[in-house]
């Protein structure tokens, strides 16, 4: 018996065409091949999703929480700012800190327990410190095109706006750990940001670069790997950017009497005034067309500059957004930190900031006479160390 098809030459009564038929052994062979092919197709279709599932990140903390502001001390806070922050944050698991950058006064701190805790990985907000370091060292200007591989270049403005990790990893390696760490400490990381704020913890900045197998100084400068930063530390640094270079101790008045007798306290002067314009275009770009553009869904009446951050650590996802409103009657800094699972990320924090700015705007916060000084010349300060 042959493997080939057998041709029957018998002429049927109703047709002149030849009929092609397979032998029983041929039919069994074809059936076996068809069954084998179907099995292979099934295996491919079921294993491909399994391979993708293996990289699915699992989170163990909820992005939502109730009564997060319970226990907050609020008698010395700005009522308009606090209510705007509470309404904007809603039931998200996080904290909001609003600061008057020309004095260091904390206008509102929602969920003070979290705001004063030991902090978290700063994610891409660390790029503000790295950018200032690179500008201070003359390594780049905002227009300098940095090579990021074959025929791929980017400047500082676009790298900040789009939060490009490869760009800041490159800057970090060129600067080296010692310079990166020096400037980070200069801008307030690794030390208390507040002046006599009960319960404030210090965060952590490592004494050496993390191991190369974990990304080394490059990952420290793109994701903040190995660093623990508090919302107050980030708020103090952004306040210095907003006011032209004065790093204030943050103070949180707890009574109306403390508000009435408030005196700003200068920690140190930062030599960053000439380079702030080099940085601010990227922060503005983040809000207008970059990673923080979700802010403009809710608010675009005033100029907002900011930086987002998103990363995860040991089953918890973090979402950061640090910003300041640059208005004709003064400036205000808003720092938002979220923690949780998949709904938590930097652009979500920016969206919340947009709602907060909208609430403040609708309640006439950005009008002359509300109490926000327009420049440091109108504020009496004392330079002190607690």
In the chain, where the domains are located: 6-53, 79-383
Dihedral of the alpha carbons of 104, 107, 108, 113, in degrees to the nearest 10: 30
**Block residue for tokens 């004392």:** 382
Q: Which segments of the chain have a pLDDT < 50?
A: 1-20, 37-48, 50, 53, 374-379, 385-386
Q: Which residues contact 185 (CB under 8 A, 6 or more apart)?
A: 191, 205
Torsion angles phi and psi, residue 304, rounded to 5: -120, 135
Q: What is the pLDDT of residue 369?
A: 72
Q: What is the pLDDT of residue 5?
A: 41
Q: Provide the β-strand partners of residue 319.
A: 310, 338
Closest CA to 189 of 140, 231, 225, 252: 231
Q: What is the pLDDT of residue 145?
A: 97
CA–CA distance from 315 to each of 63, 113, 170, 339 (Å)?
12, 21, 28, 10
Q: What is the pLDDT of residue 268?
A: 98
Q: What is the pLDDT of residue 151?
A: 83
Q: What is the pLDDT of residue 25?
A: 61
Q: What is the pLDDT of residue 377?
A: 37
The two three-digit tokens of residue 221, written as one number: 């400068």
Q: What is the pLDDT of residue 193?
A: 98
Q: What is the pLDDT of residue 14?
A: 45
H or E element at residue 159: helix 156-162
H or E element at residue 203: none
**Domain spanning 79-383: which superfamily?**
DD-peptidase/beta-lactamase superfamily (3.40.710.10)
Angle at 272 between CA 346 and CA 162, to 5 degrees: 25
- Cβ(346)–Cβ(126) below 8 Å: no
Closest CA to 322 of 332, 307, 338, 337: 307
Q: What is the pLDDT of residue 64?
A: 98
Q: What is the pLDDT of residue 9?
A: 43
């Amino acid at each position: 018996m042959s493997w080939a098809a057998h041709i029957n030459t018998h002429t049927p009564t109703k047709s002149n065409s030849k009929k092609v038929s397979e032998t029983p052994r041929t039919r069994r062979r074809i059936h076996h091949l068809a069954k084998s092919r179907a099995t292979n197709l099934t295996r491919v279709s079921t294993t491909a999703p399994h391979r993708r599932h293996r990289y699915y990140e699992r989170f163990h903390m909820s992005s939502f929480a109730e009564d997060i502001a319970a226990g907050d001390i609020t008698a010395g806070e700005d009522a308009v700012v606090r209510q705007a922050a509470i309404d904007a944050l809603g039931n998200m698991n996080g904290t909001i800190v609003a600061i008057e950058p020309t004095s260091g006064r904390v206008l509102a701190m929602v969920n003070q327990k979290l705001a004063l805790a030991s902090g978290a990985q700063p994610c891409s907000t660390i790029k503000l410190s790295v950018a200032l370091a690179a500008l201070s060292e003359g390594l780049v200007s905002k227009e300098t095109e940095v090579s990021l591989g074959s025929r791929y270049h980017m400047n500082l403005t676009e790298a900040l706006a789009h939060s490009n990790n490869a760009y800041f990893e490159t800057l970090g390696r060129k600067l080296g750990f010692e310079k990166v760490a020096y400037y980070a400490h200069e801008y307030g990381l690794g030390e208390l940001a507040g002046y006599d704020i009960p319960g404030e913890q210090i965060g952590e900045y490592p004494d050496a670069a993390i191991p190369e197998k974990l990304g080394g100084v490059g990952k420290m400068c793109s994701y903040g790997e190995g660093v623990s930063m508090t919302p107050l530390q980030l708020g103090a640094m952004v306040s210095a950017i907003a006011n032209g270079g004065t790093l204030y101790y943050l103070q949180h008045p707890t009574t109306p009497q403390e508000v009435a007798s408030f005196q700003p306290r200068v920690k140190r002067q930062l030599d960053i005034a000439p380079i702030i314009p080099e940085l601010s275009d990227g922060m503005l770009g983040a809000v207008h067309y970059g990673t923080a553009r979700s802010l403009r869904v809710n608010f675009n009446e005033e100029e907002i500059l900011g930086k987002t951050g998103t990363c995860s650590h040991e089953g918890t996802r973090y979402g950061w957004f640090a910003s300041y409103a640059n208005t004709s009657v003064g400036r205000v800094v808003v720092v938002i930190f979220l923690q949780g699972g998949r709904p938590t990320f930097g652009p979500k924090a920016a969206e919340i900031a947009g709602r907060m700015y909208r609430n403040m705007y609708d309640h006439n916060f950005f009008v002359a006479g509300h109490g926000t000084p327009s420049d440091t010349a109108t504020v009496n300060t004392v330079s002190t160390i607690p």
